[in-house]
Chains A and B, each alone.
Chain A
C-alpha cells in the first residue's frame, strides 16, 4: 500500500485480534452473561415452572386423564371448533385442556385456507385460546397461582425486558454476532490450543484466570459456536430482512412459515354440520402409542367435536428427527368411528433446510432426552462461566497496586462495579425471583408483575451495593448473599409446599427434587467462591503475580503470613 498516513501504520495481526477479543467481550460481556445464564435455565423451563407452582406438586399422572379432559371440555366448550388436550408427562404431571374461543375464523374451518374471506387470521392476531389446568386423577379444575414462572427467564433470554420485543431481539441478535466474533478471535489468539486443553494451574493469579477462561471456552467450543450461530438463525429473518425479501417479495411471513413447516400441515376437513357423538378417545391414544412402539402420546387435538366430520389427531410427546425440526409424529383418526385416516406423509426437508433445522432444534432443546438436556444445560453454564471469567480477567489484567491517595480510573471502576452486579448481582436477582415466586401471597394484585419487580429491585440493589463497597468486599458479600439465597430455596420449598426435599427424593415429584438439589449445589458453589475471594482479600492466596500486592490495606496481613 503506497498510501500510508501516520495513523495507518501496519499493525500485527495477533495484537489486533487480541484487541478485538478484549473489547467486544467487555462491551457486551454482561449482556451475554445474562443471555447465556437465562438461556441455560430455559432448557429446564417446564421443571422450573413446576417448582414455582407448589399447588401442582401433589398431582400424579393417571390413565383416566383423557376421560376427565373430555368431560371438562364437553362441559366448558361444547361449541368450540377445536380442542387441544395436553396429557400429563414426566416433565409436568398437569393435565391441560385448551380450546379455540373463536367460532368461525379458524383456518381449519375454511375449505381452502387460501380462499377469500376465511383466510388465516391477519399477521399477529392469533385466534384466542382458553386454557385450564386439571388434576389428571380427578378432572378437578386447578386454581393455579398467577406467576411469571420460567417464562420470564425464557423471554429475558431472547428479547430482554422493559424494551419492545423488536429492540430486545435486535440487541440480543447483535450480542450474538459479537459473541461469534469473540469466539473466532479467541481461537486465533489462543496459542496452545491443544496443549492447554487439560491445563489448569490454580492459585497463580492472572495465569489461573486465563487457564480457566480458556478451559471452559475450549471444552465446549463446538457448543458455543453452534448455540450462538443457531441463535442468530432463530432471529435471522429479522436481522437480515433484505435477504429474505429478495426471494419472498410479497410475502412477509412466507419464509418464517415455510421454515416452521407451517402452511402445509394438515388441512382438517370443514364441519359437516350434522351432529354426531364423539367416539372414545382413549382407544385412539392407545392405538397411536402401540404404533409408535411405546413412544408416548403428548397431546390430542380434536377438530369439530360433536360434528359428524370430527377428526382426532394424536401427537407424539417427543420429536423423532433432528433434521425435520424435531417434528413429532402424528396420527389422524375419524372422530366418530375411531378408524385410522390416511395422512399425507411428512415432506422430507431439503439438505439446506435440514442443516438449518438441526441447528435450531438443538438450540430449542427439542428432541432432547433427559441426558441430552443436562448436557445442553451444562454446556450453556460453561458458556456463562467463560464470559464471567473473561470479564474478571479484564479487570485482573489491568489491576495495579495503588497507594492510598491514588484513585482508580473511572472506566476501570465502572467495569469492577458492573462485573460484581452483572454476575453475582444477577444471581441475587434470580434467587430473589424464586423466593418471590413462592412467598408472594396468591391474592396479590398483578402478582406475576410483582415477581419481575422483585427481580429488578434486587438487581438494582446489588448495583448500588457494588458502587458503595470496595471491589473485593462487594464480591465477597454479593457472592455469599446469592449463595445463601439460592441454597435456602429447598427450605422455602419445604416450608411453603407439599414436597420438601426428603419427601420428593423418596417418592417424587423428581422435578422438584432436582430443582432443590441443583439449588443446594449452586448455592454451595457460590458460598465456596465467596470464601475463596475472602481468603484472597486477606492475602493468604497469591491470586496476583509475584511481587504484586493485592491491596495496600492488606499488606500487613499478607506479610505476616
Chain B
C-alpha cells in the first residue's frame, strides 16, 4: 500500500470515503452539537432558563460548524468518526447519569 496522499477524485473508494464523510457531517455533526447544547443548557452555570437556552443555542450552532469542518479536515474517515463519537458518548453518558 502506498503511503502518499492521493488526490481526492482519483483514489479507489473515494466515493465511499466522501459519502461517509457527508453522512457524518449532516447527521453526526448535528447530533453532536445538539447533545452539547442540551448538556450545556442543563449543566451550565446560568442564572435563568433564558440565558441557558440562548447560550446553548449559540454554542450549538458554532459547534455544528466546527464539527462539519472537522469531519472533512480529519485525515482519515475513521479519525473523523471517532472524533465525533468520543465527545458525543461522553456527553450522552454525563446527561444519562446526571439525570
Chain A residues engaging chain B, CB cutoff 8 angstroms: 1, 3-13, 15-17, 19-20, 177, 180-181, 184-185, 188, 229, 232-233, 236-237, 239-240, 242-244, 246-248, 254-255, 258-259, 350, 352-353, 355-356
Contact = CB atoms under 8 A, between A and B. Distances in A.
Given A6-B1, A177-B64, A259-B54, A11 B75 contact: yes
A355 B58 contact: yes
Contact of B54 (A177, A180, A184, A353): A353
Contacts of A239: 61
Given A177-B64, A237-B57, A259-B50, A246 B78 contact: no
Given A10-B5, A16-B73, A246 B54 contact: no
Given A6-B12, A240-B57, A259-B54, A1 B76 contact: yes
Interface of B: 1-2, 5-8, 11-14, 16-18, 33-34, 37-38, 41-42, 46-58, 60-61, 64-65, 68-69, 72-73, 75-79
Contacts of B75: 10-11, 13
B4 to A, nearest CB: 9
B86 to A, nearest CB: 14
25 contacts: A6-B12, A8-B13, A9-B76, A10-B5, A11-B76, A17-B69, A19-B72, A181-B68, A236-B58, A239-B61, A240-B61, A243-B37, A243-B53, A243-B57, A244-B57, A246-B38, A246-B56, A247-B41, A247-B49, A248-B53, A255-B54, A259-B54, A350-B50, A352-B46, A353-B54
Given A9-B2, A242-B34, A243-B57, 10 more contacts: A6-B12, A9-B11, A17-B69, A17-B73, A233-B61, A240-B61, A246-B42, A247-B49, A259-B54, A353-B50
A504 B48 CA distance: 52
A16 B53 contact: no
A17 B73 CA distance: 7
B7 A15 contact: yes
The dominant DSSP class at the A interface is helix
A425 B14 CA distance: 35
A4 B1 CA distance: 10
A239 B56 CA distance: 13
Contacts of B33: 240
A239 B29 CA distance: 13
Nearest to B51: A352
Contacts of B60: 240, 243
Contacts of A255: 49-50, 53-54
A229 B60 CA distance: 11
A8 B50 CA distance: 44
Contacts of B52: 247
Given A255-B50, A259-B50, A352-B51, A184 B5 contact: no
B3 to A, nearest CB: 8
Query: Which 8 A-B pairs give the minimum distances between C-beta atoms?
Result: A7-B13, A243-B37, A10-B75, A247-B49, A236-B57, A258-B50, A246-B38, A20-B72
Nearest to B15: A7
Contact of B58 (A11, A233, A248): A233
A362 B56 CA distance: 20
A530 to B, nearest CB: 35
Q: At the interface, is chain B mostly helix, strand, loop or mixed?
A: helix
A260 to B, nearest CB: 11
A246 B13 contact: no
Contact of A181 (B7, B50, B69): B69
Given A8-B17, A9-B5, A16-B73, A350 B47 contact: yes
Contacts of A240: 33-34, 37, 57, 60-61
A246 B73 contact: no
B60 to A, nearest CB: 5
A190 to B, nearest CB: 14
A2 to B, nearest CB: 10
A17 B16 CA distance: 18
Nearest to B59: A243
Contacts of B76: 1, 4, 8-11
A4 B13 CA distance: 13
Contacts of A352: 46, 51, 54-55
Nearest to B64: A177
A11 B9 CA distance: 11
Nearest to A251: B49
Nearest to B48: A350
A1 B49 contact: no
Contacts of B17: 7-8, 11
Contacts of B48: 350
Given A7-B14, A16-B8, A356 B38 contact: no
Greatest chain B CB density within 10 A among A4, A11, A15, A239 is at: A11
Given A17-B73, A233-B58, A353-B51, A184 B65 contact: yes
Nearest to A248: B49
A244 B2 CA distance: 49
A3 B78 contact: yes
B65 A181 contact: yes
A102 B92 CA distance: 49
A349 to B, nearest CB: 9
Contacts of B5: 9-12, 15
Contacts of A247: 41-42, 49, 52-53, 56
